[in-house]
Amino acid sequence: MRQKRYDTAARILGRVILLVLLTATALLAPVPDLTPTGVEVLVAPGADPDVPRVGRAWPVGLRPPVLRTWEPPATTYGRGHRGVDLAAPAGTPVRAVAAGRVSFAGRVAGRGVVSVEIAGTGDPPLRTTYEPVRASVAKGDAVGAGDVVGVVEAAGSHCVAPSVHWGLRRGDAYLNPLSLLPPWLLHGPTRLLPVWGVRVPGG
């Protein structure tokens, strides 16, 4: 009888050790880089360490496909991509990624544009821009993280697929907008893998 209890305890201990090893392996595994081909966002390549991770919502959806990534130009007027393009069909609600105040809501070169100055990000403040967007806010409006500022317009995107261009600036300097998002928004929630044969508490 005593030997049977020892065998049961040994099996349980072995499963616990296996669970710990699997969890450690998952946490230490390298995170794949973004590619510009429309995969889900997992990391923020070229993230600016001076940008605080104050984002609390994606501009559209939840971890939307990235159609084109951040490609900073080599010079001020050089070629590049000064933001990221997120897949979003026309009519999709566009949300402020962080709390702030609307600094612009109107049309630029035929496209609807909304800009929000993010509160508490220094002087000059960080400013996010979303286009093409039909605005539902006006200049001077205060917005909270996740508040809807408009909807994606049917035309005006510079991508072939329907999308919203999300930009970030401090003064005249363009920055990677993905730098605003904390890891829990970029990666999603952490999940532990099940260990087969171990009873889940409560059944």
pLDDT in tens, 81-114: 678 999 999 999 999 999 999 999 999 989 999 9
Q: How confident is the model at residue 75 (pLDDT cuts 50, 70, 90)?
A: low
**How far, in Å, CA of 86 to CA of 62, rounded?**
11
Q: How confident is the model at residue 172 (pLDDT cuts 50, 70, 90)?
A: confident
CA atoms within 13 A on the CB side of 187: 13
Task: Tell which CATH architecture fits domain 66-187.
Answer: Distorted Sandwich (2.70)
Name the β-bridge partners of 151. 93, 134
Q: For a pLDDT cut of 90, what percent of the chain falls above it?
A: 48
Domain boundaries, given as residue ranges, for the chain: 66-187
- pLDDT > 90? residue 49: no
Q: For a pLDDT cut of 70, what percent of the chain falls above it?
A: 61
Q: Is the peptide bond before 132 cis (omega within 30 degrees of 0)?
A: yes
**How far, in Å, CA of 85 to CA of 63, rounded?**
12
**How far, in Å, CA of 199 to CA of 133, rounded?**
51
